[in-house]
């Protein structure tokens, strides 16, 4: 029974990953998604930078920490080993979903590449 539940849980987490990954392409490219990186009203730049850095931290810190062997040894005492990786994927998916939802546009041009090779 546990093996079947773990398989279904893993399939759901990885299907969610596929959706989040596809959304990320549209989010970064400003196409095909309801909220993209530049969509929404421009607010104060300092506030947008602070919120966006916090959102990036919400993704980056667990994403980096959960990949470490020391954390995995501790984590698998609470989360069964067969679903550890799927849970890591789920946490990353949720963090990215939060980032997409709460991202603040910063207005103006942050970078611009004019060379077609670039």
String of DSSP letters for 68-95: SHHHHHHHTTTS-HHHHHHHHHHHHHHH
Q: What is the pLDDT of residue 118?
A: 56
pLDDT at residue number 108: 73
Sequence-separated (6 or more) residues with CB below 8 Å from residue 16 = 89, 90, 93
Give the pLDDT score at 106: 87
Chain centre distance of CA 93: 5
One digit per residue, pLDDT tens: the chain, 118 residues? 899 999 999 999 999 999 999 999 999 999 999 999 988 888 898 999 999 999 999 999 988 898 899 998 999 999 999 999 999 999 999 999 999 999 999 877 767 888 877 5
Q: Say how far apart CA 107 and CA 118 lie, in whole Å.
A: 22
Select from 23, 49, 47, 48 the least CA-distant residue to 36.
Answer: 23
The pLDDT, as a whole number, for residue 114 is: 86
DSSP letter at 108?
S
Report which of 101, 79, 86 is spatially closest to residue 23, judged by C-alpha positions: 101
Contact between 24 and 103 (Cβ < 8 Å): no
């Amino acid at each position: 029974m546990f093996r079947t539940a773990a398989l279904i849980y893993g399939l759901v987490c990885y299907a969610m990953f596929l959706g989040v990954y596809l959304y990320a392409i549209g989010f970064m490219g400003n196409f095909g998604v309801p909220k993209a990186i530049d969509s929404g009203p421009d607010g104060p730049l300092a506030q947008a930078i602070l919120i966006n850095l916090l959102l990036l931290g919400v993704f980056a810190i667990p994403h980096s920490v959960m990949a470490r062997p020391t954390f995995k040894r501790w984590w698998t005492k609470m989360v069964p080993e067969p679903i550890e990786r799927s849970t890591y994927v789920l946490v990353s998916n949720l963090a990215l979903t939060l980032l997409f939802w709460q991202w603040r546009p910063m207005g103006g041009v942050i970078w611009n590449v004019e060379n077609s090779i670039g």
